[in-house]
Amino acid sequence: MNLAGLSLRDLEYVVAVAEQRHFGKAAERCSVSQPSLSAQIRKLEDLLGIPLFERTSRRVLPTPQGEVVIRQARVVLEEARRLLALARGTAGALHGPLAIAAIQTLGPYLFPHVLPAMRRHLPDVQLVLSEGRTDGLLEELREGRLDAVLLALPVEAEGLTCDALFFEPFVLAHPTGHRLESLPSIALADLDPGELVLLEEGHCLRDQALAACGAITRGMRHATGLETLRHMVASGTGYTLMPRLATGDGEAATVGGLVAYRAFQGDPPGRVIGLVWRASDPRATGFRALAQSLRDATPPGLRRIEDSAEA
């Protein structure tokens, strides 16, 4: 095969179509016209002698052979980026667009605390922030659509590097005037699992709360998001475990005084928050430095964890 007919730009087009599942959206992402992108992919398919995508009027799906090519295209593109970094003398540094996502129960409450430090530490980076659930974020990270994610550890670490940042305790959120308010201190043993309200399946916070309380889900009420969960508590539906950062200050956090927060006595339940990136990413030095800057900006009420990067 003549390699002169294969370009990195063609591989970028293929990866974009695979991720967008749409030629028009892929073309927009690559800043080219759809006819040009489609024509280049057709040429690449002719060069390789295989169809990369199954095309219908309603959807675009990679073929089995296409999946293999797409996986390798991501490897080639990452190695090309490594080559450019070495040539520029910036191997390991973070610069340009950087897509960082956080789990939904963390992002809105953590970003306001750490963004000033991130902006100071990354003056040459254009941050692209997003949120999602753990499984979806890890999939996007492995596929290269995200550069790093902030989430609760541990995670399935094959092919990933995890650096623990800080421990976030859970506090009890209960309706104002609830019987628990009269107790001088609160322990997990004081909780009735029958009154516990949780997030719906798919949220790691739900599993962490169940594990902390030793509860089962039968008959429990569920919320789609953390703010809905807070409002369920405010309405008197029950109580829940709330991440410390989400307790905030002022009337919004207490829903006009309808929600009270209590710290647990002794060692509280909680979660370890970490920064996760691909082990194959050539910018490992930059991500470790970013993790240290996040650690240095540990929000009040959370416990900093010293450097602990592991593959």
Last residue of a domain, one of 49, 71, 88: 88
In this structure, the answer to whether residues 219 and 71 fall within a common structural domain is: no
Please check the confidence at residue 24 and state whether its pLDDT lies above 60: yes
The answer to whether residues 280 and 241 belong to one domain is: yes
Question: Which residues, in sequence order, are bridge partners of residue 260?
Answer: 174
Range(s) of the domain holding residue 233: 95-307
| Whether 35 and 165 share a structural domain | no
- Total of domains in the chain: 2
- Determine the pLDDT at residue 309: 57
The reported pLDDT for the residue numbered 310 is 57
Residue-level pLDDT at 4: 64
Q: Residue 56's pLDDT is what?
A: 80
- With respect to residue 170, please indicate whether it lies within any of the assigned structural domains: yes
Q: Are residues 183 and 249 in the same domain?
A: yes
295 inside domain:
yes
Give tens-digit pLDDT for 116-148.
999 998 888 899 999 999 999 999 999 888 999
Q: Which of 72, 88, 104 is the last residue of a domain?
A: 88
- At which of 46, 64, 88 does a domain end? 88
Q: Is residue 15 part of a domain?
A: yes
For residue 42, name the pLDDT band (cuts at 50, 70, 90).
Answer: very high
Identify whether residues 155 and 38 lie together within a single domain. Answer: no
Q: Minimum mean pLDDT among 80-89, 188-197, 262-271, 275-284: which range?
A: 80-89
Asked if 197 and 225 sit in the same domain, the reply is: yes
Note the pLDDT of residue 191: 85
Q: What is the pLDDT of residue 211?
A: 79
Verify that 78 and 211 share a domain, yes or no: no
The yes-or-no verdict on residue 88 having pLDDT over 80 is: no
Is 63:52 a contact under the CB 8 Å cutoff? yes
Q: Percent of the chain having pLDDT more than 90?
A: 51
Q: In this structure, is residue 1 part of a structural domain?
A: no
Q: Are residues 155 and 201 in the same domain?
A: yes
CA-only gyration radius of the chain, Å = 23
Instruction: Identify the pLDDT of residue 293.
Output: 94
Residues 223 and 128 in one domain: yes
Which of 100-104, 161-165, 249-253 has the weakest average pLDDT?
249-253
The answer to whether the beta carbons of residues 278 and 99 sit under 8 Å apart is: no
